[in-house]
Structure 1
Amino acid sequence: MSKTLFITGASTGIGAATARAAVERGWNVGLFARSEDKLNELASEFGDSALVLPGDATDFETQKKAISSLKDRFGQVNAAFANAGTGLSAAGTDAGDPDEWHQMITLNIMGLLYTTKAAMPYLKEAKGHLLMTGSAAGRRHIKGSVYGASKWFVHGYGGNIAEEMREWGGRCTVIAPGMVDTPFFDEAKPDKLHPDDVAQAAVFALEADQRATIQEVFLMPTN
């Protein structure tokens, strides 16, 4: 039976690239994001290997239903990638917008927690793998960066949940890229990392021998 991967933020960027890389290696994928049109377009590349799961990652019940539907479709959920996230239009604390902070924290932190909790029963059953998108911004201090602080949470929580999952044979990996050329930025960044680079890191961790837990993959642009 092919393994199955649930991906949040799957419609573009890192999520879409990871879906492509996983399907190329024989995985089934559950594509979760708000943009159903983009998900349908992506899923058309994969035939019977994909299930479109439109929804908002900040809604716990929606994530629970989505993962349950994925299990019903493919028989198991072997991995989940808590990838959905967002940044801020106003950098720093002094110039920041508290309402925008709230929206970002709800997605970057609560959305990730919701993915983890919703997926955990299925991952326990499969001795599965949890991936989450961290950031270089979560590994160093950046003046006033509230976004960076949200990624520090990802790195801290990722290490904590890895210890919990170890007790029953599960694995957790934080994928921590530097700047990636994705729709996250208003302008193209062609000399930075490509989503495919990050997707390859995610698949590397997923396909490591079960005896090895790749707890973090930290990748930076060469330039």
Structure 2
Amino acid sequence: MSKVLFITGASSGIGAATARAAVKAGHKVALLARSEDKLNKLVDELGEDNAFALPCDVTDVEALESAFDAAVTRFDQIDAVFANAGLGATGKGTEEGDIDNFRTMIDVNIFALTVTCKLAIPYLKETKGHLFLTGSRAAHATLPGSVYGATKWFVRGYAENLMAELGEHDIRVTNVNPGMVDTPFFDEEKPDALRPEDVAGAVMFALEQPARVSVPSIQIYPMR
């Protein structure tokens, strides 16, 4: 059965790979990111019948609300929301970290993620849908002074709280926790890391389970 996925951070990396996997499986995708050019190229690749570009800064609440409205206008419904947009650290730990980077990371990784989830809930109630959050292996380890890691610990706890809130509405919640992924998140290639397609496969696995099955958390790590 074809579903409509709403994906933030969709212009590259895990978001773009998930969009490709979803369309290959017969689903439709609404794609959010700040880079309009990259989104348009992805829509050209996937086909306008299958994909819809929604240039948007996820920290802008009004723009995010408009994106949800536009996606429903285009595809009639939303069956899954992947709160995937995220930002990494520019410095190691707290002492060597950059204060402006702290603020931006918290805005994207925490504030924008919670707003995305809040706005998604009314649509997912209608479809008994699925909410995905991009966590991290960093939320299952102690990284000295890491503000980035702390934002992912927030995601881990928040995902569990959402499960407690949304289970009565038959909305499934899955926290996807990848280890290092070779994406534009890093300035140099990571040959031993996961590929975005690996994480997309984990998302699709959870999405395609029967309604009676909940996959609350997926850990997906590189072998090395």
User: Following TM superposition, by how much is the alpha carbon of 1:2 offset from its aligned partner in structure 2, in angstroms?
Assistant: 2.6
User: Following TM superposition, by how much is the alpha carbon of 1:117 offset from its aligned partner in structure 2, in angstroms?
Assistant: 1.1
Map Cα deviations across residues 112-139 of structure 1 (whole Å, 9 max, x no partner).
0111011111001111100010000011
Counterpart for residue 134 of structure 1: 135
Counterpart for residue 24 of structure 1: 24
1:96 aligns with 2:97: yes
User: Following TM superposition, by how much is the alpha carbon of 1:99 offset from its aligned partner in structure 2, in angstroms?
Assistant: 1.6
1:214 aligns with 2:215: yes
1:183 aligns with 2:197: no
CA distance in 1, matches of 2:109, 2:84: 9
CA distance in 1, matches of 2:165, 2:45: 36
Residue identity opposite 2:103 in structure 1: H
Counterpart for residue 41 of structure 1: 41
Q: Is contact 1:60-1:118 (8 Å) kept?
A: no
Counterpart for residue 203 of structure 2: 202
Q: Is contact 1:6-1:81 (8 Å) kept?
A: yes
Map residues 154-193 of structure 1 onto 2, 5 A cutoff. Answer: 154-193=155-194
CA distance in 1, matches of 2:70, 2:137: 34
Residue identity opposite 2:17 in structure 1: A
User: Percent of pairs identical after alignment?
Assistant: 55
User: Following TM superposition, by how much is the alpha carbon of 1:109 offset from its aligned partner in structure 2, in angstroms?
Assistant: 0.3
Q: Is contact 1:60-1:114 (8 Å) kept?
A: yes
Counterpart for residue 2 of structure 1: 2
Query: TM-score scaled to structure 2, two decimals?
Result: 0.98
CA distance in 2, matches of 1:54, 1:113: 19
Map Cα deviations across residues 164-218 of structure 1 (whole Å, 9 max, x no partner).
1101111000000000000000110022100000000001111111101100010
Q: Which moved more, 1:31-40 or 1:59-68?
A: 59-68
Q: Is contact 1:36-1:54 (8 Å) kept?
A: yes
CA distance in 1, matches of 2:45, 2:97: 40
CA distance in 2, matches of 1:169, 1:215: 13
User: Following TM superposition, by how much is the alpha carbon of 1:159 offset from its aligned partner in structure 2, in angstroms?
Assistant: 0.6
Query: TM-score scaled to structure 1, two decimals?
Result: 0.98
Residue identity opposite 1:160 in structure 2: N
CA distance in 1, matches of 2:83, 2:122: 15
RMSD: 0.8
CA distance in 2, matches of 1:75, 1:176: 30
Residue identity opposite 1:26 in structure 2: G
CA distance in 1, matches of 2:23, 2:149: 31
CA distance in 2, matches of 1:210, 1:163: 17
CA distance in 2, matches of 1:221, 1:25: 25
User: Following TM superposition, by how much is the alpha carbon of 1:55 offset from its aligned partner in structure 2, in angstroms?
Assistant: 0.6
Counterpart for residue 119 of structure 1: 120
Residue identity opposite 1:205 in structure 2: A
| SS of the residue 1:187 aligns to | coil
Map residues 8-87 of structure 1 onto 2, 5 A cutoff. Answer: 8-47=8-47, 48-87=49-88
Matched residue count: 223
CA distance in 2, matches of 1:203, 1:190: 24
CA distance in 2, matches of 1:125, 1:5: 14
Unpaired segments ≥5 residues, structure 2: none
| SS of the residue 1:149 aligns to | helix
Q: Is contact 1:127-1:170 (8 Å) kept?
A: yes
